[in-house]
């Protein structure tokens, strides 16, 4: 085969691969039906393919030598492909059951200049809340591992990773604080911990996101420590699941409530997305418990025994089913309707101790529901939170403090950026 023919074939091959498929390939690998290990191998293979394509692109940019003629100047580069924004829209990929989240279905004007300014001011205010040892929190929630984890997730939602980006040092210091508070049993808890499994769930979620966003931590000096702490943290979650399938405040398998349970489900989902093995039966039991806590009105009660529905824990209940891998189910449909009727942003009746907690899970539920639910919910919660921001850029929470409220508000407002892997599945 002549060199010219080789270049022509190579060019056709490169052109035949959809640009959006190449861009999404690493994410798609983690959806492998064969489990996390297969996903890891897929990710490695994808990296090799992308490297070959990069080399091919470089080769295609070179002139084809012709020994029969004298050398000529290199030809002008071929026109590049149009930017993604100008390419024809493709339908969002469906989940196995045919439903679609908002992951690849961005709304018009999801992110506005006003929102960008709000987020920038919020991140600056949040950075000022960090202690010298990397911890976040104040008052009785000072140096709190849950607040620290959520603050770091708020920075990561803007693309800042340990040691990278404007707030990379803040994430790195927060990560160091969390790792230093990893105990021999696997529990992630600081001295001031209130309800250790709450903090453990959020901190494990944070470690899972770090592990997933830095190729298993292999690109950072924290690789081994993050992996070991994450494995131990997940093992503790599995061992402390009670007979009903849920979790409660302490790492013992005696009791459960839906609020603590969702923290553990999200943590395990994040770890599994990053390639950590999570037994299927653990998730199946958790789903049984969450279903047990749903009332006939679609809302969720605090525990399995009879009780009233409340919108914050109902948002957590719906989100937990999604993160357990259930995307189309009567329980989800009823839960989403309950949230739309009881907690729609902007009605002025959602002030209270669990305001940020509730909207943290509600926006995730609507994002994962996608379609009209997301289209209605997102502009409403975006505008409400922007209106609630203080002059100093923070969002104070009356119970837990400004670092917590600001972190939660920023995570909600940055959902459309789609940086955190936990929101991409």
**229, 415, 249, 345 alpha-carbon torsion, rounded to 10°:** 170
Q: What confidence category does residue 351 fall into, taking pLDDT thresholds of 50, 70 and 90?
A: low
Half-sphere exposure of 140 (CA within 13 A, CB side): 5
What confidence score (pLDDT) does residue 58 get? Answer: 37
Give the CATH number for residue 388: 1.50.10.20
Query: What pLDDT is attached to residue 192?
Result: 61
- The confidence score (pLDDT) of residue 215 equals 62
Same domain, 129 and 54: no
Q: How many distinct structural domains can be found in the chain?
A: 2
pLDDT of residue 353: 77
Q: What average pLDDT does the structure give for the chain?
A: 81
What are the tens digits of pLDDT across the range 183-232?
A: 999 999 987 666 899 999 999 999 999 999 886 455 567 888 999 999 99
| pLDDT, tens only, 49-69 | 333 333 343 343 344 334 333
Kindly report which listed range (39-48, 148-157, 172-181, 401-410) carries the lowest average pLDDT score: 39-48
Q: Give residue 421's pLDDT.
A: 93
The verdict on residue 177 lying in a domain is yes
Give this prediction's pTM: 0.77
Q: How confident is the model at residue 90 (pLDDT cuts 50, 70, 90)?
A: very low
| Structural domain harbouring 19 | 3-65
| pLDDT, position 170 | 98
Is 289 contained in some domain? yes
User: Does residue 81 carry a pLDDT above 60?
Assistant: no
Whether 162 and 279 map to the same domain: the answer is yes
Looking at the structure, do residues 157 and 35 belong to the same domain, yes or no?
Answer: no
Q: What is the C-alpha separation between 269 and 265, in angstroms, rounded?
A: 6
Same domain? For 133 and 37 the reply is no
Asked if residue 168 belongs to a domain, the reply is yes
What mean pLDDT do residues 16-24 have? 39
- pLDDT over threshold 90, residue 48: no
pLDDT at 181: 96
């Amino acid at each position: 085969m002549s060199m010219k023919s080789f270049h022509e074939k190579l060019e056709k091959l490169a052109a035949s691969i959809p640009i959006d498929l190449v861009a999404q390939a690493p994410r798609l690998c983690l959806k492998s039906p064969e489990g996390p290990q297969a996903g890891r191998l897929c990710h490695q293979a994808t990296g090799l393919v992308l490297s070959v394509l990069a080399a091919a692109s470089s080769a295609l940019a070179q002139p084809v030598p012709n020994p029969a003629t004298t050398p000529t100047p290199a030809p002008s580069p071929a026109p590049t492909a149009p930017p993604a924004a100008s390419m024809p829209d493709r339908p969002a990929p469906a989940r196995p059951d045919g439903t679609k989240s908002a992951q690849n279905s961005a709304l018009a004007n999801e992110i506005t200049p006003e929102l960008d300014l709000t987020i920038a001011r919020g991140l600056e205010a949040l950075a000022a809340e960090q202690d010298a040892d990397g911890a976040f929190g104040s008052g009785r929630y000072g140096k709190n591992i849950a607040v620290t984890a959520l603050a770091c997730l708020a920075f990561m939602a803007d693309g800042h990773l340990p040691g990278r980006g404007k707030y990379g040092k803040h994430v790195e210091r927060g990560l160091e604080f969390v790792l230093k508070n990893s105990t021999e049993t696997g529990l992630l808890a600081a001295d001031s911990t209130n309800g250790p499994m709450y903090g453990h769930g959020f901190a494990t979620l944070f470690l899972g996101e770090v592990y997933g966003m830095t190729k298993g931590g292999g690109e950072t000096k924290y690789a081994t420590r993050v992996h070991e702490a994450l494995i131990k943290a997940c093992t503790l979650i599995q061992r402390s699941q009670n007979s009903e399938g849920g979790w409660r405040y302490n790492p013992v398998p005696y009791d459960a409530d839906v609020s603590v349970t969702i923290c553990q489900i999200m943590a395990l989902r994040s770890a599994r997305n990053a390639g950590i093995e999570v037994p299927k039966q653990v998730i199946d039991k958790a789903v049984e418990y969450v279903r047990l806590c749903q009332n006939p009105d679609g809302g969720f009660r605090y525990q399995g025994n009879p009780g009233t529905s409340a919108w914050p824990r109902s948002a957590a209940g719906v989100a937990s089913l999604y993160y357990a891998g259930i995307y189309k189910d009567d329980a989800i449909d009823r839960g989403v309707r309950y949230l739309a009727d009881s907690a729609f942003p902007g009605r002025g009746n959602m002030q209270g101790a669990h305001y940020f907690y509730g909207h943290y899970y509600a926006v995730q539920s609507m994002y994962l529901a996608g379609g009209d639910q997301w289209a209605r919910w997102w502009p409403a919660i975006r505008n409400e939170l922007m209106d609630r921001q203080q002059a100093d850029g923070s969002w104070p929470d009356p119970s837990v403090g400004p670092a917590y409220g600001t972190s939660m508000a920023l995570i909600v407002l940055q959902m459309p950026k789609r940086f955190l892997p936990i929101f991409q599945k």
